[in-house]
Amino acid sequence: MAVYTTVDDLTLAEFLSAYDLGNVLSFAGIAEGVENSNYLLRTDKAHYILTLYEKRVDADDLPFFMELMTHLAGMGMSCPLPVAAVDGSILQELMGRPCAVFSFLDGTSSRYPNREKCRALGASLATMHLHASGITRCRANALGPASWQPLLDSIGAGADEIAPAMQEMAQHRLGSILAAWPQDLPQGIIHADLFPNNVLFIGDKLTGLIDFYFACEDIFAYDIGICLNSWCFDADGSFNLTKSRSLIRGYQSVRPLSEAEINAIPVLAAGSAMRFFLTRAYDWLHTPKNALVSPKDPMEYWSILRFHQSVSGVSAYGFD
């Protein structure tokens, strides 16, 4: 179970005395998630999520995340709503960690979502892009293009432990992506980590977007690239054009893309693949063998990157 910080009953009771959440019925760790410690809290009033923020989340970014989720929920989006304590405060401290309580969203995620779910995801992503424009705080993308070369440098020759000559191949592909990176596309707040495990459904109805802890300001269409990579490749590694077309049509039903955005999709999707390849490669080489969570295979995203750099045009993604 991916819970890094254990909370005992006595400490929990003292912590909850600052809230008006009702009497506790159960409290259990949630296995999903690799960045923070998450608990499902059931009371006689409602269900809640208690999140303790571990070291990989910068505490200085938490007010941005809280404002974003509060704002989106206020705009009618299904996302976790931060729950205030009796004194009106949202961010607290528990077991020496920053923490917050959130509303519970019903639904489950899909490892390999169908085309109906992909379309719903696209529409919800576009809605988020439009609604998030009203927040007052900003956060730069700490894992954006400017970070990729330093990240590859930090991996260094260790990349060749993942695959022969990987350092040289990664450097070549990164250079081509950065040289073609677009500069003048529409920007705003993006989710930046909207993998299928961060989207909840009941049947094919989307019931929630969660895990906003990579949200930042960047190119809107880059967020589409992230979703194409995480939603539209099947278990055998092949790209599913039907899912891609559905996702894009869902997005454009809410926020039509400009011609420049459409033309940039191949390099934006390749950049997304490079970003996740690099962070996975770093974790693959530096995560202790006895860690609570096993690192993910970076070669999955190397294969995805090769696909994007082999396409002949945007029709490969389902654009007409």
**Residue pLDDT, tens place only, 152-189:** 999 999 999 999 999 999 999 999 999 999 999 999 99
Residue 1 has pLDDT above 60, yes or no: no
Structural domains for the chain: 9-103 (3.30.200.20), 115-317 (3.90.1200.10)
Q: What is the mean pLDDT of residues 128-142?
A: 95
Residue 34 has pLDDT above 70, yes or no: no
pLDDT computed for residue 287 by the predictor: 82
Residue 247 has pLDDT above 50, yes or no: yes
Q: What is the mean pLDDT of residues 127-151?
A: 96
Residue 49 has pLDDT above 50, yes or no: yes
119 vs 30 pLDDT, higher one: 119
Q: Tens digit of pLDDT for each residue in 189-223?
A: 999 999 999 999 999 999 999 999 999 999 999 99
| Max CA pair span of the chain | 61
pLDDT computed for residue 292 by the predictor: 64
What does the mean pLDDT of the chain come to?
Answer: 94
pLDDT computed for residue 295 by the predictor: 84
Q: Tens digit of pLDDT for each residue in 261-297?
A: 999 999 999 999 999 999 999 999 988 776 666 789 9
Residue 39 has pLDDT above 60, yes or no: yes
pLDDT computed for residue 99 by the predictor: 97
pLDDT computed for residue 289 by the predictor: 75
Residue 72 has pLDDT above 70, yes or no: yes
pLDDT computed for residue 56 by the predictor: 79
